[in-house]
Structure 1
Amino acid sequence: MIDFLSIAYPWIKSLHIMSVIAWMAGLFYLPRLFVYHVEKSEAGDVQDQIFQEMEYKLLRVIMNPAMISTWVFGLAMVFTPGIVDWSAVWPFTKMAAVLSMTWYHHWLAKRRKDFINGQNTVTGRQYRMMNELPTILMVVIVLSVVVRF
């Protein structure tokens, strides 16, 4: 298995990067949809139904598979010999940021359920502010992996 991971490493890394790009796109776009949802519709109206369908498809068809594949390919790289230096700080800062990104993903999924139940209490301004979180986490992840501090 370890030989396979070493041989397949460039492919695994490529698939990981593609998965991260798709996941990040969704993490940036879903809260933007929530902003418009809050500001442009009322529970039960036609626009509410359109926003709910868009949010559902983004989360279930793009974001969830992208998150899962990001984790699968990321863990495959972790288990590839010689890739991670566990005596350095960077694997732990990246891990903390990825876990935070995963928490954020699930927080967004919960907010989508609030819209479905007509129980959203988050304002457009609050969604805009929360939309900065994936950017901050992305900076931590990229710096961790590239600079390896």
Structure 2
Amino acid sequence: MSLLWIKALHVFFMVAWMAGIFYLPRLFVYFAENEDVNTRAVFKIMQRRLWFFVAPFALLTLIFGVWLITIYGMDWFRASTWLHIKLALLIGLYGYYAYLYFIMRDLAQEKNIRSPKFYRFLNEAPVLVLLAIVILAVVKPI
């Protein structure tokens, strides 16, 4: 497979994964704002299905990213400071995604201890991380 195909698939799976990351906390907001048992049950289903739907995209993003690093080689990897920062942000993003799972699990058990405002902040935070990752990957300022 050519380098450009691997890059394209890496970007595609990242975009698909990020779509889920942006929407899942929004479902948490709706859940926290709603008191109706039936509506909450629907949000629980939506949350679970979304998390598990985008999980393969998270894995494929990682696989194609590692493949790219392998193709470019260790000398390139060591010299790419921007990539080290990007990888640190990505580790944080994978941690964030895992954290969303634990929130989803708690909400499924009706253990909501957070306000809708908290979930709104949680919904908006990854946008800044994505912006930094894109700038690092495209502009390579460091």
TM-score (norm 2): 0.92
1:75-102 Cα distance to aligned partner (Å, 9 max, x none): 1111113594422320111001110110
**What's the C-alpha RMSD, in Å, of the aligned pairs?**
1.5
1:90-131 Cα distance to aligned partner (Å, 9 max, x none): 011100111011011011010000011111111110011112
Paired residues for 1:10-29 under 5 Å:
10-29=4-23
Match of 1:79 among 59, 66, 70: 70
Q: Which amino acid aligns with 2:35?
A: S
Contact 2:31 2:40 in 1 (8 A): yes
How far apart, CA to CA, are the structure 1 residues paired with 2:35 and 2:45?
A: 13
Q: Which residue of 2 aligns with 1:121?
A: 113
Match of 2:88 among 96, 102, 107: 96
Taking every aligned residue pair, what percent have the same amino acid on both sides?
Answer: 31
Cα distance, 1:132 vs. partner?
2.1
Contact 1:27 1:105 in 2 (8 A): yes
Q: Which amino acid aligns with 1:132?
A: E
Match of 1:39 among 33, 36, 48: 33
Point out where structure 1 has 5 or more consecutive residues left out of the alignment. Answer: 1-6
Secondary structure of the residue that 1:109 maps to in structure 2?
A: helix
Q: Does the alignment pair 1:138 with 2:126?
A: no
Q: Which amino acid aligns with 2:94?
A: T
Point out where structure 2 has 5 or more consecutive residues left out of the alignment. Answer: none
Match of 2:102 among 103, 110, 131: 110
Kindly indicate which of the two structures has a greater share of residues assigned to helix.
Answer: 2
Q: Which residue of 2 aligns with 1:68?
A: 59
Q: Which amino acid aligns with 1:93?
A: I
Counting matched residue pairs gives 140
How far apart, CA to CA, are the structure 2 residues paired with 1:81 and 1:16?
A: 15
